[in-house]
Each structure stands twice: as C-alpha cells, then as structure tokens.
Amino acid sequence: MKKILLIQPTIYSDDNQLIKRNKLYFVGLTMPLLAALTPADWQVEICIETIEEIPFDTDAAVIGIGSMGHSLRRGIEIAEQFKKRGKIVIFGGLMASLLPERTKLSCDAVVIGDAEDVWSEILKDVDNGQLKEYYKKPLSKLTYPLPKYELITNKRIGDFLPVQAGRGCPNACDFCSIYYVYKQQYLKRDIPEVIRDIKHIKSLGFKKFLLIDDNIIADRSYMKSLCKEIKKEKMKWMSQCAIDIARDDELLNTVADSGCTTLSFGLESLNENNLEKINKAWCKVDDYEFLIKKIHNVGIDVASEMMVGLENDTRENLFATVDFVIKNQIEVPKFYIVTPIPGTKYFDQAQASGIIMDSNIERFSPSKAVIKTNNFSPEKLTEIFWDMYYETYTISNILKRIVFHRRFLRHPLRGCFNLGVNLVYRKNIKKGVAPIII
C-alpha cells in the first residue's frame, strides 16, 4: 500500500532550541482532516514533532508538512532532509500560503490556501508522476468528511480534541494573516456535520472539545443555532472570538448554556490609538473591563492575547496592561511581540517605514522583537516583553487571578486546571520559553 507521512513541525525557542513537550494540549485539526481526505489505497501516519521525534527513516514515499504560525523555519528544514532522502515533499499551511515561492525551494509542491478541494488531485498527480509546483483552489463551501481523530488519540495529547464550525473572519485587522487569506469571508459548515464530529469525539471517550474557529460570532444567528445543538451533547468546550460577544446578552447566555467554559479574546492593546493604527478601532478599550465582567458572570473563563510593540507603546502603558490583566482576573493571559507577517498590510507598512531590523523572515518570533518602535529598540522591547510575563506569572499574581475570587469556589475543578496551566506557563517563562505551544 502507498504511504504518506503527515508532519506538524514544532518551532524554535529564542535560544535556537527545538521546543518539545511531554504532552500537547492544543492539537491541530489539519492532519486528521487530510488523513480523512486521503484515498483508501493510501496508508496515513501522523507525526506531531512537539511531542514526537521525526521518523526520518520512514518508508513513506510522500511527506506532507504543515506550517502554522512560526513553524515555517523548522518545516523547511524537515522538508530539505526528506528531499535528500529522495522523498516527494508537499508543503502547506498558512505560512507556506503567504510565502509560496520561498517554501517551494525546499519541496516538490506547495498548497496555497485550503487543501480540501485539491488534496485528491495532488495524490492523483503523484501517482501519475505529474505533480505540479503549486495547487490553489479557494473553497466555495466548507464541508469535509469525519476527521481521522484515531490517528492522534494514541499520542500524548490533552483531554480534548479540535472541531471546526467556520473558517475566516469578517474583520480586517492590518496585522492578521487570516484576513489576508480569506478577505473577510466567513465559511460555515452545515450544523449537522459539525455535530457529527462532536458526537464522534464523545464516542472516543472525550468530554471536551476545542472549537478552533477564528471568530465564532462571525455569524451570530448560526452560532445560536449551533449552540442549541451542542447543548444536547452535554460536552464542555472552548473557543475564541471577538469580545463583542458580551454585547449580545442572548448570544452570550446561549454560548454559556451550551457548555462553553473558556473564550479567548484578542484585546491587543489598551491604547485606542494603537487599535486605530492596526484597523481594530471597533474594539473599545473603555468597555473591556465591563465586557470581561459580563463574560465572567455567565461562568466563562477568559483568555487574553495582547500585543507588545505597537507604535504608541510605552513602558508605562505596557505595564498598565499587566495591571489590567491582574485586576480583571484574566485566567490565561498571553502576550505576543508584534510580528510583521508577510502578506499583511502591517508587514508592508513596517517594511516601507524601515522599522524591520531583521530581514530573515524565518527567524521571526512572537517572543523576540525584530522591529523598532517610536520608544524601543528591538532589544529593549524584548526585555520588556519578558518583564511583563515575569510579573504576570508571579505566584502571588497567579493566585490573585485564579484562586482569590468566588468563581474558584463555583468551579473548583476548572479553577485547579487553570492554576495548573498557569504554573506550567510560569515554569516555562523562567526557562525563557513563552507560552506559545501548549
């Protein structure tokens, strides 16, 4: 039988070491989905490098490599190693889609954008010895077979699996690569198809799932209908969306009632001028505290993502961000140094203004600055970034955010889980590894 090995690469730490974990909680959906799209006369294996070693001696003739986030550098290295061994290498994912010409130098074919409508064509071309350099076919409808979760459930993963309802986002933030792939398009799967996946995950013994949509409130009517069906399954779930969900009381309560335990929000900055500069002025900083309180009041924990190194950032306002996180008892706060991603408007602006200090895109990292701002050199910005993490994740501040409030008594098991996550983050931060892959 023909064989293909699908690889999800890890990333490098800032001291140039591969990041490895004993267990990976947030696993991707791409590889189980590609496995389901693969014709039956192919055998599929999956390798998640963060928790496994790459089997470079594999007997698979074809290697498929993904490139989410900052894993492109490692993915290219893996591709080059397999090319030396005479393998056919196919590369895809968000970063490969944004940098197809660079990626093609290390592989045989690049999938640009979504793979659903080209995957069978690619494997047919492999069979016929007619593999093309690039494959691109935008989706008109988001639908796919049941992902082959069984190919990852025997690995060292957490207690939940990924599910997707929609893809894309109607917003147009300058820094966001999702916008530059989907151009404000939001594709939705039929609700019965989504519930099919959730039921299957439940049948595998899991009681939780991660809804990996980019913005679950992109279509509010659809989300309300979906939540009514999710509720019937009695599953707990997590996701991410715009904080504007808290402006719609009916939607917020419907989401909470369906079993949602945690939502992640890209708050980005507490400086309105910064938000305006990155085309995210629809976020209102003055409302953040009120909206977070509403989310907490319906029993949903808050994860936040904040950017470090926007144009108007000062040391004072960045540490005000730390104070904000602690005051509002945000359970899982994360910070990211502003990274100019090729293909985005922010990258073009940063390049034109000459603020990018390192031209090697493969070295870009969310925990090591490559830009200078009005107030900081890259080195100083990186130093402040780590100082913010150290302060946020002191033992006393972890306890203030997680334990010392009534929500901990209402949901003690969830509180203990969040406490454990924070302690793991603290341990990694002290080692100089930002909480990016968990």
**pLDDT at position 398:** 98
Provide CB contacts within 8 A for 334, sequence distance 6+.
303, 304, 305, 306, 435, 436
Q: What is the mean pLDDT of the chain?
A: 93
Instruction: Specify which residues 18 forms β-bridges with.
Output: 12
Torsion 82-366-329-228 (CA) sign: negative
How far is it, in rounded angstroms, from Cα 382 to Cα 398?
22
Beta strands (DSSP E) in 193-286 are 208-211, 236-240, 260-268
Do 159-430 and 2-135 have the same topology in CATH?
Answer: no
Question: Which residue did the predictor score with more confidence, 431 or 390?
Answer: 390
What is the CATH number assigned to the segment(s) 159-430?
Answer: 3.80.30.20
Q: Using one digit for the tens of pLDDT, what is the confidence trace for 283-326?
A: 999 999 999 999 999 999 999 999 999 999 999 999 999 999 99
Position of tokens 């061994």? 85
How far is it, in rounded angstroms, from Cα 383 to Cα 370?
13
**pLDDT at position 302:** 97
Fold of 2-135: Rossmann fold (3.40.50)
Residue 438 pLDDT level (bands cut at 50, 70, 90): low
Instruction: Kindly tell me if the per-residue pLDDT of 437 is higher than 70.
Output: no
| Run of H or E including 7 | strand 2-8
Residue 146 pLDDT level (bands cut at 50, 70, 90): very high
**pLDDT at position 181:** 78
Q: Using one digit for the tens of pLDDT, what is the confidence trace for 360-412?
A: 877 788 899 999 999 999 999 999 999 999 999 999 999 999 999 889 999 99
Question: Which residue did the predictor score with more confidence, 332 or 180?
Answer: 332
| CB neighbourhood size of 431 (10 A) | 10
Q: What is the mean pLDDT of residues 188-199?
A: 98
Strands 160-163 and 208-211: parallel
3-state secondary structure at position 370: coil
Closest CA to 215 of 282, 170, 269: 170
Instruction: Kindly tell me if the per-residue pLDDT of 208 is higher than 90.
Output: yes
- Domain ranges in the chain are 2-135, 159-430
Output DSSP code: residue 151.
Answer: G
3-state secondary structure at position 130: coil
**pLDDT at position 243:** 95
Q: How far is CA 329 from the centre of its chain?
A: 23
Instruction: Specify which residues 356 forms β-bridges with.
Output: 371
Provide CB contacts within 8 A for 129, sequence distance 6+.
none
End-to-end CA distance of the chain: 35
Percentage, residues of the chain above pLDDT 70: 100
**pLDDT at position 61:** 96
**pLDDT at position 258:** 98
Q: Using one digit for the tens of pLDDT, what is the confidence trace for 254-280?
A: 999 999 999 999 999 999 999 999 989
Residue 184 pLDDT level (bands cut at 50, 70, 90): confident
| CB neighbourhood size of 380 (10 A) | 15
Q: Which range has the worst mean pLDDT, 121-135, 199-213, 342-356, 371-385?
A: 342-356
3-state secondary structure at position 166: strand
Output DSSP code: residue 147.
Answer: P
How far is it, in rounded angstroms, from Cα 88 to Cα 127?
11
Closest CA to 423 of 332, 319, 330: 332
Q: Using one digit for the tens of pLDDT, what is the confidence trace for 84-139?
A: 999 999 999 988 998 899 999 999 999 999 999 999 999 999 999 999 999 999 99
Q: Looking only at Cα atoms, what is the longest distance across the chain?
A: 64
